[in-house]
Amino acid sequence: MDDLTPERIRWIVQGMIILLLSIAVHEFGHAYAADRIGDRLPRRQGRVTLNPVAHADPIGTLLLPLLFLATTGGLGFGWGKPVEHTTHDRKRRVFISFAGPAMNVLLGITVAILHATLVATGVLRVDHHLSIALGYAVILNFVLFFFNLLPAAPLDGGSVARGLIPRRWLDGWDRFAVYAPFLVMAFILVPALGRVFTYPARFCMAQLYQGVALIFGTGDLADFMERIFRL
């Protein structure tokens, strides 16, 4: 473990805040979607909220990410408390499952626009540590979007795929789902496989920052993000 310098401690705090908010937004998306179609279970359980406390898992949201940040400087992987619902209709389940990753994209776009606004108005320098943290929040949320849509249980993409495939394939899909968690771990642990979701995340981030640079006149911000995150 590297020495816990003030800079390292600051990054750990920033990283945990970014992760907590990203997971809260993701799980809120599931809960809100279920609530909108009439499933009141998430509301009764207090999940239709952006309060991170309602969605945090002690191990997946707090302990593991904190250990990764303290030892490697990265978040590694984590998860939030799953949102429970009683919906059985396949199409509605697809809607609920997709809502979580969709909220991550919305958060990523919102943070990028806020980032560009702060730079364009002179409130924030492009090379400030907060600027890097905001960029990290953007790419993390795009990574969460693409990773969670991998068509394998227990990820959201597994539920989306199950809701879209023909009914005659469901038995075979459910047999495959038993082994799907091992496939998910392979994508997490093998860098070459991880490019399946990290490459499109970086591509989307690059396009997003180029777009906001054109709107806000912050080309230096887009260039800085490209250098820092190797877009």
pLDDT of amino acid 6: 85
pTM of the model: 0.93
27: annotated active-site residue: yes
State yes or no: pLDDT of 180 exceeds 70: yes
What would the pLDDT profile of 1-13 be if each residue is shown by its tens digit?
557 788 888 999 9
Which pLDDT band holds residue 142 (cuts at 50, 70, 90)? very high
Asked which of 38-52, 82-96, 182-196 is least confident by mean pLDDT, the reply is 182-196
What would the pLDDT profile of 46-95 be if each residue is shown by its tens digit?
999 999 999 999 999 999 999 888 888 777 778 999 999 999 899 999 99
Q: What is the mean pLDDT of residues 135-147?
A: 96
pLDDT of amino acid 2: 54
Q: What is the mean pLDDT of residues 139-153?
A: 95
Express as a percent the part of the chain with pLDDT over 90: 74
State CA 45 to chain mean position distance. Answer: 22
The candidate with the shortest Cα–Cα distance to 99, out of 188, 159, 18, is: 159
State yes or no: pLDDT of 120 exceeds 70: yes
What would the pLDDT profile of 210-226 be if each residue is shown by its tens digit?
999 999 999 999 999 99
The structure tokens listed for 224 are 């800085």
HEC readout, the chain:
CCCCCHHHHHHHHHHHHHHHHHHHHHHHHHHHHHHHCCCCHHHHCCCCCCCHHHHECHHHHHHHHHHHHHHCCCCCCCCECCCCCCCCCHHHHHHHHHHHHHHHHHHHHHHHHHHHHHHHCCCCCCCCHHHHHHHHHHHHHHHHHHHHCCCCCCCHHHHHHHHHCCHHHHHHHHHHHCCHHHHHHHHHHCHHHHHHHHHHHHHHHHHHHHHHHHHHCCHHHHHHHHHHHCC
pLDDT of amino acid 218: 93
